[in-house]
Amino acid sequence: MDEAEPLARAQLAQSRRVLGNDSPQTLVAINPLGFLLLGERRFVEAEPLFRESLEGHVACAAATTPTP
């Protein structure tokens, strides 16, 4: 796991830089880092990542769902 965290952080940083924070691909890229931290019982660090991902997906869905 020691090697995985820097890679997950680098991948997320690149996704944010290239695609932006609100991109669906970036929102998906948040989860691997969150799950790594969760697996290491680093809950305080993992929670904001999961919240960001969830809130971003909800906003994305709301923006793309047609209203009747």
pLDDT one-digit tens code per residue, 23-53 = 999 999 999 999 999 999 999 999 999 999 9
What is the structure's pLDDT at 1? Answer: 63
Residue span of the structural domain in which 29 resides: 4-64
What is the structure's pLDDT at 40? Answer: 95
pLDDT at 67 over 80: no
Q: In the chain, what percentage of residues exceed pLDDT 90?
A: 78
User: Domains in the chain: how many in total?
Assistant: 1
Q: What are phi and psi of 2, to 5 degrees?
A: -60, -35
CA distance 46 to 33: 8
44 near 51, Cβ under 8 Å? no
